[in-house]
């Protein structure tokens, strides 16, 4: 099974070779409430770690999606754009948001470190 890493901005990341798959965590999806709109960067867009690359709107608030790595967007999940409720239904699976090709993976949180962050 692929190891899931996390950011302090509540994104999850899995890595396959030099491609990072990124989504928001179950914790973030629950805090947002019912997601009604998702805006993602275009394929081919350059992204920088820690910078805003998209937006997730819910009935309660607007959240920003941050890039966890520097790189280029090689795929985006248009199914989530078409049906934002997927983020609530399966945030850690089918509702992945973008895939980014990267040269170097920054330090990310382990599951235990992320759990500590959300419990504290």
- Tens of pLDDT along 9-21? 999 999 999 999 9
CATH number, domain with residue 75: 2.40.50.100
What is the Cα–Cα distance from 42 to 16, expressed in whole angstroms?
20
Which DSSP symbol is given to 15?
E
* Inside any domain, residue 30: yes
What mean pLDDT is reported for the chain? 95
| pLDDT computed for residue 32 by the predictor | 93
Q: Check whether 45 has a pLDDT greater than 70.
A: yes
Question: Which residue range(s) make up the domain with 72?
Answer: 5-101
Contact between 62 and 94 under an 8 Å Cβ cutoff? The reply is no
What is the Cα–Cα distance from 93 to 82, expressed in whole angstroms?
16
- Look at the chain and report how many structural domains it folds into: 1
pTM for the complete prediction? 0.94
* Inside any domain, residue 117: no
Q: Check whether 120 has a pLDDT greater than 80.
A: no
What is the Cα–Cα distance from 16 to 8, expressed in whole angstroms?
21
* Inside any domain, residue 63: yes
Task: pLDDT band for 1, please (50, 70, 90 cuts).
Answer: low
Residue with tokens 């190891």: 3
- Over residues 87-103, the pLDDT tens digits come to 999 999 999 999 999 99
Element (H, E) at 99: strand 98-101
């Amino acid at each position: 099974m692929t190891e899931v890493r996390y950011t302090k901005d509540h994104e999850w990341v899995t890595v396959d070779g030099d491609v990072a798959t990124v989504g928001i965590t179950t914790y973030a999806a629950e805090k947002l409430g019912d997601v009604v709109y998702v805006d993602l960067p275009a394929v081919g867009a350059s992204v920088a770690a820690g910078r805003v690359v998209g937006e997730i709107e819910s009935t309660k608030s607007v959240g920003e999606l941050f890039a966890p790595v520097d790189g280029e967007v090689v795929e985006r999940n248009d199914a989530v754009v078409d049906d934002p409720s997927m983020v609530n239904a399966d945030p850690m699976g089918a509702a992945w948001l973008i895939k980014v090709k990267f040269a170097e993976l920054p330090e990310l949180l382990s599951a235990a470190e992320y759990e500590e962050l959300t419990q504290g």
